Amino acid sequence: MRSTQAIGRLTADPPRRPPAAAGPQTTGDQPATGGARAVDEDVPGAVGRELRELLADRLAGCHGLDPVFARDVAERTARFTRSGGRRIRPRLLWWSLRACGGGDPAQVRLALRTAAALELLQTCALVHDDLMDQAPTRRGAPALHADVAEQYAGAAAGPAAQRLGASTAVLAGDLALAWADDALSGLLLDPGLPRDTAHRLHEVWRVLRTEMVAGQYLDVRGQAVSSGTPARSIRAACLKSALYTVERPLQLGAVLAGADDLTIRTLRRAGRCAGLAFQLRDDLDDLFADPRVTGKPSGGDVREGTPTYPLAVARSLATAAGDQHALGVLEHAMGRADLTDGELAEVREAVVATGARDHVEARIARLTRRCLRHLGEASLEPGAAARLRGLLAEITGTAGQVPEPAAAPRPAAMAAAGTEAGR
C-alpha cells in the first residue's frame, strides 16, 4: 500500500507533498527520492555510514569516561557492529519502507537511524549468544569473550582471564543495547515526529526486544532440559528469528512509511512465514553448510545440545519408525562438546536417512509460498516489492525454487486474506 500518513519533518525542510500515484516525489527544486535512490543502490553501505557516525559519537564519550573501558569494551562493541554481517534486518526494514511508498528525506533519516539501532540490538544478541553457547568464533574471528580472554591470558591466571572475557561480553552486549535504545530515543523525542508514528514505532521496538529475549531463553532452556519436540523447537524459532529477524523489521519499515494498518498486518504475516523459513534454513546450514560460508563451526547446535527443528523432527521420525540406530546416534551426539567430525557426519546421515532434511526443506518451501502469497495481497510499489521478494528468497535459500504469484489481487480482496502465517 502506498504511504497514507505523512511522517512529518525532522529538519527545517518544507513539508512534503502528498504521495502521487506514480513518479518521483519532489520537495522544492530537489527530488525528495534522491536520497532514497542512493540508499537503494547500497543499503548495507548506507547503514554502515550511519553506524560510523553514531558510533563515533558514542566512542568519544566512552574515551572521556575511561580509556581502558573504551579500549576493552566500547571499541570492541563498535568494531563488532561495524563489521556487520549481511545486514538482513536493515535491508528488510528499508525495502518494506520503499514498498510502502516511503522515501522522502525525513523517512530516509528515520529509516537509517532505526536500522542502525537494529544492528546494535543484533550486536547485543550475538555477543550474549556466543557467550551462552561458549562459541569460540563469530564471523570467522574470535568471539568477543574469547578475544578478551586471550588478551589477558598473560596478565591473569587461566580461570580469571576466562571470567574476565565472559564478564566483558555481558557488559559489551549491555552497552550495545543501551546504544540501540539511545538511537531510538533520539528519534522518539524529536518534536517533528508525528505522535501517532512515534507511538507505533515505540510499541514495535518495545515488543521486539522482549521477543528476542524470550526466544533466546527458550533456546538455552531447550539445551538444558532437552525439551526437543518439534512444536517447542518451532516456538523458539518463531520468537528468536521469525519475529525479531523478519516480521518486526518489515513492520518498522511500514510504520515509518506511514502505511495503513491493513498493509502492516499483511506484511507482518508475510514476514512471519519468511522468518520461520529463515530460521529453519539456518538450522539446516548449521549441519550441512560449509563453515567457511557461514562463518561459524559446523554442528554447533548439536554440540551445544540445542534441539533445533531438524534435529527434533529427526528424533520424532526415528521414534515413529522404530529406527534405533538413528535414535542412538542422536542421543549420543546431543550436547557433546567434544563431538568428532566423524560423529557429526553420522548425525548428518541420520537426519537425511530419517527423512528429516527433506521434511524441513518442504516446510521451508511451503512457508516461502505463503510469504509470497501474503505479499501479493498488499498493494505495494512494484519495483520495491520485487526487491523485497528477492531479499526474502535470499534469506530463506529458495531463490528460483518457489514460483512468484502471477499478479497481486485487487486491494478490495485484501480484507479476506487468510491469517495462517504463524501456523
Give the separation between CA 90 and CA 81, rounded to whole angstroms. Answer: 13
Average pLDDT for residues 363-374, to the nearest whole number?
Answer: 95
Can you give the pLDDT at residue 30?
35
Of the candidates 300, 282, 264, 271, the one whose C-alpha atom is nearest the C-alpha of residue 371 is 271
Give the separation between CA 28 and CA 17, rounded to whole angstroms. Answer: 10
Judged by DSSP in three states, 259 sits in coil
Mean pLDDT, the chain, rounded, equals: 86
Are 146 and 165 within 8 A, CB to CB? yes
Beta bridge pairs of residue 27: 30
pLDDT band at 227 (very low <50, low <70, confident <90, very high): low
Give the separation between CA 48 and CA 305, rounded to whole angstroms. Answer: 35
pLDDT band at 97 (very low <50, low <70, confident <90, very high): very high
Can you give the pLDDT at residue 422?
34
Can you give the pLDDT at residue 12?
32
**Start-end of H helices in 226-308:** 230-237, 248-257, 261-288, 291-294, 300-304
Higher per-residue pLDDT: 63 or 156 = 63
Task: Please give the grid coordinates belonging to residue 222.
Answer: 531447550
User: Using CA atoms in the order 326, 328, 332, 334, what is the torsion angle rounded to 10 degrees?
Assistant: 50
Average pLDDT for residues 83-101, to the nearest whole number?
Answer: 95
User: Using CA atoms in the order 276, 281, 286, 292, what is the torsion angle rounded to 10 degrees?
Assistant: -130
Say what percent of the chain tops pLDDT 90.
70
Higher per-residue pLDDT: 238 or 74 = 74
Can you give the pLDDT at residue 331?
93
- Signed CA dihedral, 129, 135, 138, 142: sign only: positive
Its pTM surpasses 0.95: no
pLDDT tens-place string over residues 31-49:
334 599 999 999 999 999 9
- Strand ranges for 68-224 from DSSP E: 137-138, 141-142
Can you give the pLDDT at residue 290?
86
Task: Please give the grid coordinates belonging to residue 356.
Answer: 528429516
Could you give the C-alpha distances from 361 to 144, 339, 351, 368, 396, in angstroms and in order? 33, 26, 12, 11, 10
Give the separation between CA 259 and CA 201, rounded to whole angstroms. Answer: 12
Q: Tell me which DSSP letter residue 339 carries.
A: -
Residue 403 pLDDT > 70, yes or no? no
Residue 11 pLDDT > 50, yes or no? no
pLDDT band at 375 (very low <50, low <70, confident <90, very high): very high
Beta bridge pairs of residue 137: 142
pLDDT band at 401 (very low <50, low <70, confident <90, very high): low
Average pLDDT for residues 59-85, to the nearest whole number?
Answer: 96
